[in-house]
Amino acid sequence: MQQYQVPQFITIEDRIIGPLTLKQFLYLLGAAAIGFIGWSLLHFILFILITLPVAGLFVAMAFLKINDRPLPAILAAAIGYYLKPRLYLWRKTPPPLIPKKAPTPAPPSPLAGIPKLSESKLDDLAWSLDIKERLEDRG
Protein backbone atom coordinates (compact mmCIF):
# COMPACT_ATOMS: atom_id res chain seq x y z
CA MET A 1 0.00 0.00 0.00
CA GLN A 2 1.30 3.43 -0.92
CA GLN A 3 1.69 6.11 1.70
CA TYR A 4 1.12 9.75 0.99
CA GLN A 5 2.50 12.69 2.87
CA VAL A 6 -0.22 15.00 4.20
CA PRO A 7 0.72 18.68 4.51
CA GLN A 8 0.66 19.86 8.11
CA PHE A 9 0.24 23.60 7.72
CA ILE A 10 -2.58 23.98 5.22
CA THR A 11 -3.82 27.30 6.63
CA ILE A 12 -0.53 29.14 5.95
CA GLU A 13 -0.31 30.87 2.58
CA ASP A 14 2.55 29.92 0.28
CA ARG A 15 5.47 32.31 -0.08
CA ILE A 16 5.60 33.14 -3.77
CA ILE A 17 7.97 36.08 -4.16
CA GLY A 18 10.75 35.93 -1.60
CA PRO A 19 9.32 36.23 1.92
CA LEU A 20 6.02 37.66 0.57
CA THR A 21 2.78 35.91 -0.22
CA LEU A 22 0.93 36.71 -3.42
CA LYS A 23 -1.56 38.98 -1.60
CA GLN A 24 1.21 40.90 0.13
CA PHE A 25 3.05 41.34 -3.15
CA LEU A 26 -0.07 42.63 -4.92
CA TYR A 27 -0.81 45.11 -2.10
CA LEU A 28 2.77 46.42 -2.27
CA LEU A 29 2.56 46.60 -6.05
CA GLY A 30 -0.66 48.66 -5.73
CA ALA A 31 1.01 50.98 -3.20
CA ALA A 32 3.97 51.47 -5.55
CA ALA A 33 1.65 52.17 -8.50
CA ILE A 34 -0.34 54.74 -6.51
CA GLY A 35 2.91 56.33 -5.33
CA PHE A 36 4.26 56.55 -8.88
CA ILE A 37 1.02 58.01 -10.26
CA GLY A 38 0.84 60.51 -7.40
CA TRP A 39 4.48 61.53 -7.87
CA SER A 40 3.95 62.01 -11.61
CA LEU A 41 0.66 63.92 -11.57
CA LEU A 42 0.54 65.87 -8.31
CA HIS A 43 2.56 68.66 -6.81
CA PHE A 44 4.81 67.62 -3.94
CA ILE A 45 2.47 68.93 -1.19
CA LEU A 46 -0.58 67.18 -2.69
CA PHE A 47 1.51 64.05 -3.19
CA ILE A 48 2.33 63.96 0.52
CA LEU A 49 -1.24 64.79 1.62
CA ILE A 50 -3.06 62.33 -0.66
CA THR A 51 -0.79 59.62 -2.01
CA LEU A 52 1.30 58.73 1.03
CA PRO A 53 -1.67 57.95 3.35
CA VAL A 54 -3.30 55.80 0.65
CA ALA A 55 -0.03 53.98 -0.03
CA GLY A 56 0.44 53.58 3.74
CA LEU A 57 -3.01 51.94 3.91
CA PHE A 58 -1.95 49.47 1.22
CA VAL A 59 1.25 48.65 3.11
CA ALA A 60 -0.77 48.17 6.30
CA MET A 61 -3.15 45.87 4.41
CA ALA A 62 -0.16 43.82 3.33
CA PHE A 63 1.52 43.37 6.73
CA LEU A 64 -0.69 44.48 9.64
CA LYS A 65 -2.51 41.81 11.66
CA ILE A 66 -4.85 42.55 14.58
CA ASN A 67 -5.64 39.58 16.83
CA ASP A 68 -4.08 37.28 14.21
CA ARG A 69 -6.50 38.51 11.57
CA PRO A 70 -5.26 40.41 8.51
CA LEU A 71 -6.33 44.03 8.10
CA PRO A 72 -8.44 43.39 4.93
CA ALA A 73 -10.58 40.89 6.88
CA ILE A 74 -11.09 43.41 9.70
CA LEU A 75 -11.97 46.19 7.25
CA ALA A 76 -14.45 43.90 5.46
CA ALA A 77 -16.07 42.99 8.79
CA ALA A 78 -16.29 46.67 9.80
CA ILE A 79 -17.88 47.69 6.49
CA GLY A 80 -20.33 44.79 6.73
CA TYR A 81 -21.22 45.79 10.28
CA TYR A 82 -22.06 49.34 9.28
CA LEU A 83 -23.98 48.42 6.11
CA LYS A 84 -26.09 45.50 7.33
CA PRO A 85 -29.29 46.06 9.27
CA ARG A 86 -29.07 45.28 12.95
CA LEU A 87 -31.37 42.74 14.54
CA TYR A 88 -31.39 42.89 18.29
CA LEU A 89 -32.68 39.53 19.47
CA TRP A 90 -32.73 40.48 23.11
CA ARG A 91 -35.23 43.31 22.62
CA LYS A 92 -38.71 41.98 23.23
CA THR A 93 -41.17 42.98 20.56
CA PRO A 94 -44.70 43.63 21.75
CA PRO A 95 -47.24 41.03 20.65
CA PRO A 96 -49.57 42.11 17.85
CA LEU A 97 -52.77 43.67 19.07
CA ILE A 98 -55.79 41.51 18.31
CA PRO A 99 -59.11 43.30 18.61
CA LYS A 100 -61.32 41.68 21.18
CA LYS A 101 -64.82 40.69 20.14
CA ALA A 102 -67.75 42.04 22.08
CA PRO A 103 -68.86 39.48 24.64
CA THR A 104 -71.91 37.57 23.49
CA PRO A 105 -74.85 37.70 25.85
CA ALA A 106 -75.27 34.61 27.95
CA PRO A 107 -78.12 32.34 26.88
CA PRO A 108 -81.17 32.72 29.06
CA SER A 109 -81.23 30.23 31.88
CA PRO A 110 -84.15 27.79 32.05
CA LEU A 111 -85.13 29.18 35.44
CA ALA A 112 -85.73 32.61 33.93
CA GLY A 113 -89.15 31.51 32.54
CA ILE A 114 -90.46 30.54 35.99
CA PRO A 115 -92.28 33.43 37.60
CA LYS A 116 -91.34 34.35 41.12
CA LEU A 117 -94.09 33.78 43.59
CA SER A 118 -94.79 35.97 46.55
CA GLU A 119 -95.97 34.64 49.94
CA SER A 120 -99.59 35.32 49.20
CA LYS A 121 -99.51 33.67 45.79
CA LEU A 122 -97.74 30.67 47.29
CA ASP A 123 -100.45 30.35 49.93
CA ASP A 124 -103.16 30.57 47.27
CA LEU A 125 -101.48 27.86 45.22
CA ALA A 126 -101.10 25.56 48.22
CA TRP A 127 -104.77 26.11 49.15
CA SER A 128 -105.95 25.30 45.61
CA LEU A 129 -103.89 22.09 45.56
CA ASP A 130 -105.32 21.06 48.92
CA ILE A 131 -108.82 21.57 47.59
CA LYS A 132 -108.10 19.51 44.46
CA GLU A 133 -106.73 16.66 46.58
CA ARG A 134 -109.82 16.70 48.82
CA LEU A 135 -112.13 16.71 45.83
CA GLU A 136 -110.31 13.78 44.27
CA ASP A 137 -110.45 11.83 47.54
CA ARG A 138 -114.26 12.25 47.71
CA GLY A 139 -114.92 11.45 44.14
The per-residue pLDDT of the chain, averaged, comes to: 83
Taking CA atoms, 61 is separated from 10, 51, 58, 111, in Å, by: 22, 15, 5, 89
Rounded to an integer, the average pLDDT of 11-18 is 79
Look up the pTM and report it. Answer: 0.52
Specify which of 1-5, 41-45, 95-99 reaches the highest per-range mean pLDDT.
41-45
Give the per-residue pLDDT at 80.
92
